[in-house]
Amino acid sequence: MSADHSRDPCPIVILNDFGGAFAMGAIGGVIWHGIKGFRNSPIGERRLGFLNAIKARAPVLGGNFGVWGGLFSTFDCSVKAIRKREDPWNAIIGGFFTGGALAIRGGWKHTRNSAITCACLLGVIEGVGLMFQRYAAWQAKPMAPPLPEAIAPPTQAQPLQA
Amino acid sequence: MSNIANVFNPKQESKPIEDCLSCDIFNSIFLLGTGGYLSSGKAILKDKKVSVKEFNKKNPIWWRNGVRSFGAFLIGYGIFRSFDTYESWKTSQEKKLSN
C-alpha cells in the first residue's frame, strides 16, 4: 500500500488519473479550441465555428491528456512496486519512461529526446511541489505558547499615602 | 556544492512502502505486457508513408535490436516478479493460517 493514504491504491489510481487527465484535457480543450474556433470564424458564423471547433477538437485533446496521464500513472505504479520506496524519483523515472514510450514510433532520437524532456519536466514539477510543501510546513510550524507575564519584581516600599 | 540546489530541490526522506499484493500483481502483468509488445517488434514497425531509407535512418539496427532485447528482458523480469509475488502471497497466507 502506498504511504500516501490520500490517494487510491495502485492499480485503481491509474483509472483515476486517466479520468482526471481526460477531464482536464477536455475542459482545457473546450476553452482553447472554443476561443480559437470563435476567432477564426467569419462574423455571423462565430457561434457555429466555436461549437464545431469544440466538438471536433476538445475530445481529442482530452484523449491525448488521458493517454499521457494513464501511462504516467502506470509507469509510476510499476516503479513504486519495483523500488518499494516513495520519493520524487518514482515520478521522474515514470516520466522518463512515459516520454520514451509515447515517442517510440518516431525513431531512437525522438524517443531519447522525448524521454529526457519528460523526465526533466517531471523533475521540475516535483521540485516545485516539494518547495511549496516545505513552505507550507514552515508557515504552519508549531509555535510555543506565550509565556505568562512576568511577575514584577518587588520594588522599594513606597510611603503610605493618607 | 552550492546551497542553491537545496533551495530548489530540498532533501526529502525516501520512505519505504509496505508490501502491496495488488501492486505486485499489476506490475507483473504490466511487465509481461510491455515486454511482449516491445519484443514483438510492433513498436518499430515501418509506416507505409515512410520510405525504407528514412525508416532505416530513424530506426537503425542497433535500436531495433535494443528495443527487442529490452522487451525480452522485461518478459524475463515479469516472470521473475510473478514468481516472487506468488511466493510472498503464499507466505502471507501461511502466516494467516498459522495465526
Grouping H, G, I as helix, E, B as strand and the rest as coil, residue A140 is: coil
- Asked if the C-beta of A84 comes within 8 angstroms of chain B's C-beta atoms, the answer is yes
pLDDT digits (tens, 9 = 90+) for A100-147: 999 998 888 999 999 999 999 988 988 888 888 888 877 777 777 777
B44: contact with A, CB 8 A cutoff: yes
CB A104 within 8 A of CB B67: yes
Mean pLDDT over each residue of chain B, to the nearest integer: 84
Model pLDDT, residue B90: 87
Task: Give the pLDDT score at A37.
Answer: 92
3-state secondary structure of B37: helix
Does the residue B2 lie in any domain?
no
Q: Which three cell numbers stand for residue A3?
A: 504511504
Does residue B90 lie within any of the structural domains? Answer: yes
B47: containing domain: 20-98
Q: What is the mean pLDDT of residues A56-60?
A: 93
Extract the C-alpha cell encoding A114: 522525448
Contacts of A9 in chain B (CB under 8 A): 20, 22-23
Provide the number of structural domains found in chain B: 1
**pLDDT for residue A118:** 92
Instruction: Tell whether B10 is covered by a domain.
Output: no
Query: Does a structural domain hold residue B54?
Result: yes
Structure ipTM over 0.85, yes or no: no
Question: Could you say which of A10, A85, A130 has the minimum Cβ distance to residue B20?
Answer: A10
Q: For residues A81 and A10, give the distance between their C-alpha atoms in angstroms, rounded to a whole number.
A: 9
Distance between CA atoms of residues A66 and A19, nearest Å: 7
pLDDT at site A134: 80
- pTM for the model stands at 0.77
Residue B9 in any domain: the answer is no
All residues at 6 or more sequence positions from B81 whose CB lies less than 8 Å from its CB, including other chains: A82, B24, B27, B28, B31
**What radius of gyration do chain A's Cα atoms show?**
28
Q: Does A10 touch chain B (CB under 8 A)?
A: yes
Sign of the dihedral through C-alpha A73, B83, A84, A114: negative
Say whether pLDDT at A161 is over 80: no
Residues of chain A with Cβ-Cβ distance to B58 below 8 Å are: 106-110
Residue B6: inside a domain:
no
Residue B7 counted as domain residue: no
- Residue B99 Cα, gap to closest chain A Cα (Å): 22
Decide if B71 is inside a domain. Answer: yes
* Residue contact A87–B14, C-beta within 8 A: yes
